[in-house]
Amino acid sequence: MSLTKRLAVDLAASAALPFLAVWLYEGANWVAMACQGHPATFTVSGWLPLGVAAVSSGEVSPFTKVLQIALALSFLFPFISLLGRARLAVARTLAVSTAGVFVASAYWEMLPAAYALPETIHTIVFLAGASTLSFVTLWAVDRQRPFHPAMGVAAR
C-alpha cells in the first residue's frame, strides 16, 4: 500500500474511532448497570448514544464503574491490536489515548467521594491520569522503535 493510501486509511480510521469509543463506553455502562441489577435505559440520538440512565432504589455501587471500564477496555483492546497490525499509527495512538481516558474517567465519575476539592483540581488530576496512562501504554506496546525521537527513550 502506498504511503498516501496508508495515510488516508489511517486518518479515516482515526475519524471513525471517536464514534466507536462513545458506543463502547456507553454500551459498557449499560451492560455494567444491567449486571448490577439496575434497570438501565440506553438513549440514542442520531449516530451517538446520549447516555445510560438507571433508576434504582439504592445507590449504584463503585464496582459498577470498575466493571464498565473493564468492559469498555476489553472491547477496545482488539481494535488497538488490529490498528497496530495494520500499521495505522495515528489511529492506534488515538485508540490508546481513548483507553487512557476510559480509565481516567473512573476517577471523574467518582467525584462525590472527593467533593471538597475544587473542580479545577479534579480536571488537572483527570488530564494527568489520562495522559500518563496513554504515555505508558504507548511506550509499552511500541517495541520496534524509540517511543519518541525527541526523547530518545528506547522501547522495551
How far is the C-alpha of 44 from the C-alpha of 49, rounded, in Å? 4
Q: Is the pLDDT of residue 155 over 50?
A: no
Average pLDDT along the chain:
76
Strand 40-45 with 48-54, pairing: antiparallel
Q: Is the pLDDT of residue 14 over 70?
A: yes
Please write the tens of the pLDDT for every residue from 84-137.
Answer: 788 888 888 788 878 877 877 777 666 666 667 777 877 787 778 777 777 776
What's the pLDDT at 102? 82
Q: Picking from 24-38, 75-89, 102-116, 134-148, which range would have the lowest pLDDT averaged per residue?
A: 134-148
Task: Quote the pTM value.
Answer: 0.70
pLDDT tier at 71, thresholds 50, 70, 90? very high
Q: Is the pLDDT of residue 52 over 50?
A: yes
